[in-house]
């Protein structure tokens, strides 16, 4: 029998819907509820762990139908699916049907023995009877009062923040900002002090993005309402954690062509947007033109409902694109489609469209086109070239809705034979749907290397040259073209000598890539037989799956902060246990090193009061210091890790260690938890290893003493470098100082490795330095036993190590330690 799961912000609402639905079939029916959160002051919300548990409790071979109320309920349901094995995930269906009517219809259909598709159809059509009775031809939600709530009885609270993530409030961080703000009731306004902008609404994705907030800019956020302080704390946490972005994987792409040599016949110069060589016939892509006519409408309400229908359908389409993109290009890049969804929910944009339809009696197409043009024009007026590129995302969303309004079929990018795609430009949703086995290259007359389409092309591994001359649009389909995405050049009907050079470069490129990927599952063994363990740094279950697919031999750093951030209370022991166990199962007995909670100071939790903001949060109350001051919070995490260790290869790693006393205090708490579990006869790994992060100079100075207390070291070069160089790695004014290849940092690594090996323990490195292939010979020569990097870097790093010998690496490391600058170290390894 098909089973049902109800996901709601309100537990009372969900229980009421379940009671109503089960009464319709006069008996027990398998309906699970995942609703509300454990917060007596603010119980409204959704929790992906609860959704996962609810789905797991009613799993059925006939299928599980999940109905959700609104907002984050959908995101929680999608996240919950990640915790399920693939076979079970395929049995679960998320349905957009209305919660109350949909649940009743679905239960009746399921109880009658209908299959999952029939149950879904009944749920989706649940509003038809009500609409017919009320005489509504097209049942849609009517527009709600768009006036912002007044909070005159509450004082306005204000914070000032400096933006540290490298690209500022671009699409994904802006989307996360708006989504976080939407969890609270307060009215939020944001102002870019650096650019002296006016304040804008914090619930508008477009207005927040148009502020042009970049790294180093100062912004002011105000909140007015009863939960103003909690709102600002949650938003402050986003900024403190760089919005979850890992700047270590950011490589600024070329935005202008640097090639100055004269062109030869048939040669085109453009922007190098995605590396690689492609040689193939061209095929043009031009999305069907959407022609709209402006006209007067008498029934404004019906016209507004028509626009709402198109927007709702567009949301469903974008959700489908996001789901596919997550599989193809990963969650991080697919998150741009989250931002597109927020554009469709932008209250400022919707209010403007509604006003045009209601007051000016414009048809939906004309009203929508007008407001989209206004938003696009706002982006184009910005001085920042990167933010100007975001107009493509707005246009992509706008065109999708217009296509639905006029009834055009979706654009078809399906190719029968491999080709180079030639176009004026590519929308992000078009780029996300490309098949790299058919689209061998991309050549456009517009775009830049910072556009989302270019980012997606790089992620897919499709060579791309953008911004070439318009003459390329007049080529006939089938014309032979070659392009080099590394130099930004393209050739029309290239001569044999050029073809030979490019073919050789393409073969070398493809061979190196294939070899790296093909050998990714093999151990990284040097030419003279030394093996280096290559692990992955991860922050989600999806990251672990990608890591294993790229040949990770384990997880060297699981950042557990993702379990604590973006919520109103700390995760429970059971919630953490489920996640740790799920990740361990994906790893299948490979090592899993779990770093205990590393928040506080520069990464505050909104539900823990830190008092007066710290002047130097990087030197403040964070990491192990925070956990030792919150022993119950610490114990809860340790219990979850210990319980998950039974039958798995887990290890615990303590962050921000500065003294021996901190290690001993943490071990005392761990021993207490272990004794509690033994008394309760709960199994755990009795031989579980405990290690520490080496990221503070004091820890390096007493590494010999610390080595006597723990089972392993892991060097975090990101923090260690900034502490050694006394340079805040989030401050662009001193960014050049914070270079992990500086000889002073390398000497710290050497001293740590020597102390560890003298004590008989192993030592790894999990900072971004490990992902730099240039650093591989130095790190190998310094004697590191394990390197932990982002999952995408694993194949190339393994390949780099197999080409080295320990003797050569030790010689290079010795010379590197004698250099007087990071630049000279780079020159040494580049020789």
Q: How far is CA 454 from the centre of its chain?
A: 17
* 3-state DSSP assignment of residue 651: strand
Lookup: tokens for 497: 């000598």
Q: How many helices (H) and strands (E) does the chain have?
A: 33, 25
Q: Which of 95, 315, 443, 766 is catalytic?
A: 766
Q: Which of 9, 170, 452, 648 is catalytic?
A: 452
**Which residues, at least 6 apart from 680, have a Cβ–Cβ distance to it below 8 Å?**
none
Read out DSSP for 46-80?
--HHHHHHHHHHT--TT-EEEEE-STHHHHHHHHH
Scan for tokens 């919070």, then name that residue. Answer: 633
Farthest-apart Cα atoms in the chain, separation: 85
Q: 134, 217, 225, 138: which is closest to 173 by C-alpha?
A: 217
Radius of gyration of the chain (CA): 28
What is the rounded distance in angstroms from the CA atom of residue 670 to the CA atom of residue 681?
16
Q: 469, 399, 396, 384: which is closest to 426 by C-alpha?
A: 396
Lookup: tokens for 360: 């000016």
- The phi, psi pair for 608, rounded to 5°, reads -125, 120
Q: 569, 605, 566: which is closest to 176 by C-alpha?
A: 566
What is the rounded distance in angstroms from the CA atom of residue 782 to the CA atom of residue 45?
50
DSSP 128: H
What is the rounded distance in angstroms from the CA atom of residue 188 to the CA atom of residue 179?
12
Read out DSSP for 417-439?
S-EEEEES---HHHHHT--TTTE
Q: 201, 152, 194, 136: which is closest to 174 by C-alpha?
A: 201
What is the rounded distance in angstroms from the CA atom of residue 626 to the CA atom of residue 487?
49
Lookup: tokens for 714: 């892991």
* Residues 94 and 78 sit within 8 Å (Cβ to Cβ): yes
Let me know if 627 is a catalytic residue: no
Segment holding 6, helix H or strand E: strand 3-8
Q: 283, 367, 326: which is closest to 82 by C-alpha?
A: 326
Lookup: tokens for 675: 């004794």
Scan for tokens 């430009």, then name that residue. Answer: 425
- For 530: left if phi > 0, alpha if psi spans -120 to 50, otherwise beta; the answer is beta
Let me know if 766 is a catalytic residue: yes
Lookup: tokens for 273: 């947007």
What is the rounded distance in angstroms from the CA atom of residue 640 to the CA atom of residue 56?
19
Segment holding 739, helix H or strand E: none
* Residues carrying an active site annotation: 452, 766
């Amino acid at each position: 029998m098909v089973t049902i799961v109800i996901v709601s912000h309100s537990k009372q609402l969900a229980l009421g819907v379940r009671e109503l639905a089960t009464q319709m079939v006069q008996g027990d029916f398998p309906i699970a509820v995942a609703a509300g959160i454990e917060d007596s002051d603010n119980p409204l919300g959704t929790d992906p762990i609860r959704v996962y548990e609810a789905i797991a409790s009613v799993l059925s071979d006939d299928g599980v139908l999940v109905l959700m109320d609104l907002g984050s309920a959908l995101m929680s349901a999608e996240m919950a699916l990640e915790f399920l094995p693939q076979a079970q995930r395929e049995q679960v269906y998320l349905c957009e049907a209305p919660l109350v009517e949909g649940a009743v219809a679905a239960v009746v259909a399921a109880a009658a023995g209908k299959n999952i598709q029939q149950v879904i159809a009944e749920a989706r059509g649940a509003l038809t009877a009500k609409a017919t009775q009320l005489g509504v031809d097209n049942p849609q939600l009517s527009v709600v009062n768009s006036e912002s709530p007044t909070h005159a009885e509450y004082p306005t609270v204000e914070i000032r923040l400096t933006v540290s993530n490298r690209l500022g409030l671009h699409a994904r961080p802006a989307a996360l900002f708006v989504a976080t703000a939407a969890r609270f009731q307060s009215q939020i306004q944001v102002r870019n002090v650096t650019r002296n902008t006016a304040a804008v609404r914090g619930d508008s994705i477009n207005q927040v993005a148009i502020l042009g907030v970049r790294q180093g800019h100062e912004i002011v956020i105000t909140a007015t309402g009863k939960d103003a302080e909690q709102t600002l704390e949650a938003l402050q946490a986003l900024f403190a954690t760089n919005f979850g972005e890992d700047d270590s994987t950011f490589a600024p792409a070329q935005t202008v062509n640097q090639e100055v040599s004269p062109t030869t016949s048939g040669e085109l110069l453009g922007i190098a947007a995605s590396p690689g060589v492609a040689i193939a016939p061209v095929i043009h892509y031009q999305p069907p033109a959407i022609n709209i006519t402006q006209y007067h409408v008498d029934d404004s309400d019906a016209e507004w409902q028509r626009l709402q229908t198109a927007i709702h359908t567009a949301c469903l389409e974008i959700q489908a694109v996001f789901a596919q993109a997550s599989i193809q290009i990963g969650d991080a890049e697919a998150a741009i489609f989250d931002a597109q969804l927020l554009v469709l929910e932008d209250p400022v944009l919707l209010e403007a469209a509604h006003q045009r339809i209601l007051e000016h009696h414009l048809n939906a197409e004309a009203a929508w086109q007008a407001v989209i043009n206004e938003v696009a024009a706002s982006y184009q007026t910005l001085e920042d070239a990167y933010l100007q590129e975001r107009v493509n995302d707005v246009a992509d969303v706008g065109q999708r809705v217009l296509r639905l309004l006029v009834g055009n079929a979706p654009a078809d990018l399906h190719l029968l034979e491999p080709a180079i795609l030639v176009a004026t430009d590519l929308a992000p949703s078009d780029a996300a749907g490309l098949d790299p086995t058919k689209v061998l290259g991309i050549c456009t007359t517009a775009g830049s290397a910072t556009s989302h389409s270019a980012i997606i092309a790089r992620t897919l591994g499709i060579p791309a040259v953008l911004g070439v001359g318009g003459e390329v649009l007049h080529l006939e389909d089938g014309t032979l073209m070659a392009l080099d995405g590394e130099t930004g050049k393209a050739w029309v009907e290239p001569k044999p000598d050029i073809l030979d050079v490019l073919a050789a470069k393409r073969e070398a490129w493809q061979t190196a890539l294939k070899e790296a990927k093909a050998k990714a599952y093999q151990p990284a063994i040097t030419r003279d037989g030394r093996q280096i363990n290559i692990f992955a740094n991860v922050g989600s279950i999806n990251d672990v799956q990608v890591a294993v697919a790229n040949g990770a031999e384990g997880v060297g750093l699981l950042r557990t902060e993702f379990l604590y951030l973006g919520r109103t209370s700390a995760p429970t022991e059971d919630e953490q246990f489920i996640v740790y166990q799920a990740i361990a199962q994906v790893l299948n007995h490979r090592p899993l090193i779990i770093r205990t909670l590393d928040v506080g100071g520069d990464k505050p939790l909104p539900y823990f009061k830190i008092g007066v903001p710290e002047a130097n949060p990087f030197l403040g109350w964070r990491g192990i210091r925070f956990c030792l001051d919150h022993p119950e919070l610490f114990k809860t995490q340790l219990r979850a890790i210990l319980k998950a260790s039974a039958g798995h290869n887990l290890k615990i790693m303590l962050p921000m260690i500065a003294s021996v006393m901190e290690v001993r205090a943490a071990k005392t708490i761990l021993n207490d938890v272990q004794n509690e579990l033994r008394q309760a006869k709960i199994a755990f790994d009795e031989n579980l290893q405990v290690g520490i992060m080496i990221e503070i100079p004091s820890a390096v100075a007493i590494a010999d003493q610390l080595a006597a207390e723990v089972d392993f070291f892991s060097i975090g070069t990101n923090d260690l470098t900034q502490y050694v160089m006394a340079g805040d790695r989030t401050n662009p004014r001193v960014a050049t100082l914070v270079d992990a290849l500086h000889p002073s940092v390398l000497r710290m690594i050497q001293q740590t490795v020597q102390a560890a090996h003298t004590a008989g323990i192993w030592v790894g490195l999990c900072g971004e330095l490990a992902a730099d292939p240039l650093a591989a010979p130095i790190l190998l020569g310094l004697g590191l036993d394990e390197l932990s990097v982002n999952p995408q870097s694993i194949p190339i790093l393994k390949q780099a190590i197999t080409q080295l010998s320990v003797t050569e690496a030790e010689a290079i490391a010795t010379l590197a330690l004698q250099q007087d600058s990071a630049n000279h170290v780079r020159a040494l390894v580049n020789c």
